[in-house]
């Protein structure tokens, strides 16, 4: 099987197969989804951006949304980059690279995170499980619902963290909040009021600085909950209230929204309607795919990328390979 895959990749990359496939999707826009970055990503990210700039036509998210509304036309092979969560690591390791390659970027900020009121809850669970001295924990994720966490090795801790966060995404929001509040007593780890530097957010001055460089700033809610699990009373604050708060701090309009986790089951009809009524011009999901010219700007599909994505795999994704027929990326 490995020999066959190698042969197939040789045909695709060396004999024009990717170019043919890419041409069949030339009218669709590619919206790439990144999260955090680190120093080790720099060289690969530079190669990745070179591949993006070589095979596609970089445009802004605003351009894609305007075309979706029928107000302008896009070039063939349109591509843009989105960054979820607004971690400070983007400012240090990602922003200079995207600027150098002239690739437009939209950063989606969590209002409470950038304001210093909170740090992202998946990072809190990761921090607690990484630093606990316990080798196993029986966690009551919600009343009567238990999850046994194996923390005996670094690998099992990573696996357990993923399992725990996935379970926390599908329970009612009040149960998730109660669990996060009890993390310290469950793990014996003191959760600091502010995240470590590698999980910190860009502050308002930093967000305004990258905006001055041409980066669009969008909204990723106020506290990063799973919106389909949130009460109707809380939705307005997470969507409309977060927009108003971001605009008051940034002092410019915030027109684009990004759904936390972004699968259809994580969004819900009430949240989708709230996003429309709040005045956003677009909303991005984690549904994995490309966007035809007349795509719904309130349900933009994306392609998952990271600083570690190899240029070879990136070329395949940009051409249209590896796209599930009906799948949603499982990300934060």
- If DSSP states are collapsed to H, E and C, what string results for 132-185? CCCCEEEEEEECCEEEEEECCCHHHHHHHHHHHHHHHHCCCHHHHHHHHHCHHH
Question: What pLDDT does residue 9 have?
Answer: 63
Q: What is the DSSP string of 63-93?
A: HHHHHHTTSS-PPTTEEEEEEEETBHHIIII
Question: What pLDDT does residue 329 have?
Answer: 38
Question: What pLDDT does residue 3 have?
Answer: 59
User: How many angstroms separate the CA atoms of 263 and 252, rounded?
Assistant: 29
Question: What pLDDT does residue 227 have?
Answer: 98
User: How many angstroms separate the CA atoms of 49 and 314, rounded?
Assistant: 10
User: How many angstroms separate the CA atoms of 287 and 196, rounded?
Assistant: 30
User: How many angstroms separate the CA atoms of 140 and 147, rounded?
Assistant: 6
**CB of 290 closer than 8 Å to CB of 324:** no
Both tokens assigned to 105? 């970027």
Our CA angle for 230, 84, 34, nearest 5°, is: 135
Question: What pLDDT does residue 240 have?
Answer: 98
Question: What pLDDT does residue 5 have?
Answer: 58
Question: What pLDDT does residue 327 have?
Answer: 39
Cut 0.95: pTM above it:
no
The tens place of each residue's pLDDT in the chain, 332 residues long, gives 465 555 556 666 665 678 888 888 899 999 999 999 999 998 899 999 998 998 999 999 999 999 998 888 999 999 999 999 999 999 999 999 999 999 999 999 999 999 999 999 999 999 999 999 999 999 999 999 999 999 999 999 999 999 999 999 999 999 999 999 999 999 999 999 999 999 999 999 999 999 999 999 999 999 999 999 999 889 999 999 999 999 999 999 999 999 999 999 999 999 999 999 999 999 999 999 999 988 999 999 999 999 999 888 888 899 988 777 543 333 33
* Backbone dihedral angles phi then psi of residue 148, each to the nearest 5 degrees: -90, 120
Coil vs helix vs strand at 189: coil
**CB of 270 closer than 8 Å to CB of 235:** yes
Question: What pLDDT does residue 2 have?
Answer: 65
């Amino acid at each position: 099987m490995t020999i066959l895959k190698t042969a197939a990749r040789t045909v695709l990359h060396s004999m024009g197969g990717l170019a043919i496939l890419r041409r069949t999707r030339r009218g669709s826009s590619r919206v790439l989804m990144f999260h955090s970055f680190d120093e080790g990503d720099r060289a690969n990210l530079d190669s990745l951006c070179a591949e993006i700039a070589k095979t596609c036509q970089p445009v802004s998210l605003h351009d894609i949304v305007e075309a979706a509304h029928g107000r302008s036309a896009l070039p063939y092979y349109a591509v843009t980059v989105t960054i979820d969560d607004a971690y400070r690591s983007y400012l240090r390791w990602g922003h200079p690279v995207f600027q150098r390659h002239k690739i437009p970027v939209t950063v989606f900020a969590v209002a409470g995170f950038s304001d210093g009121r909170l740090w992202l809850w998946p990072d809190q669970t990761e921090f607690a499980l990484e630093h606990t001295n316990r080798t196993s924990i029986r966690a009551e994720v919600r009343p009567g619902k238990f999850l046994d966490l194996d923390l005996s090795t670094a690998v099992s801790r990573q696996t357990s963290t993923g399992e725990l966060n996935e379970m926390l995404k599908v329970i009612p929001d009040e149960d998730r909040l109660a669990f996060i509040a009890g993390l310290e007593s469950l793990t014996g780890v003191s959760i600091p009021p502010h995240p470590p530097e590698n999980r910190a957010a860009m502050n308002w001055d930093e967000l305004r600085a990258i905006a001055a460089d041409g980066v669009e700033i969008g909204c990723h809610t106020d506290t990063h909950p799973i919106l389909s699990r949130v009460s109707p009373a809380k939705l307005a604050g997470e969507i409309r209230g977060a927009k108003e708060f971001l605009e008051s701090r940034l002092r410019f309009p915030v027109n684009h929204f990004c759904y936390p986790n972004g699968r259809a089951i994580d969004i819900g009809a009430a949240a989708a309607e709230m996003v429309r009524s709040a005045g956003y011009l677009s909303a991005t999901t984690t549904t994995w795919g490309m966007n035809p010219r007349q795509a719904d700007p309130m349900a933009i599909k994306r392609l998952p990328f990271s600083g570690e994505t190899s240029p070879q795999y990136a070329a395949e994704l940009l051409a249209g390979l590896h796209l599930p027929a009906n799948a949603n990326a499982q990300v934060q």
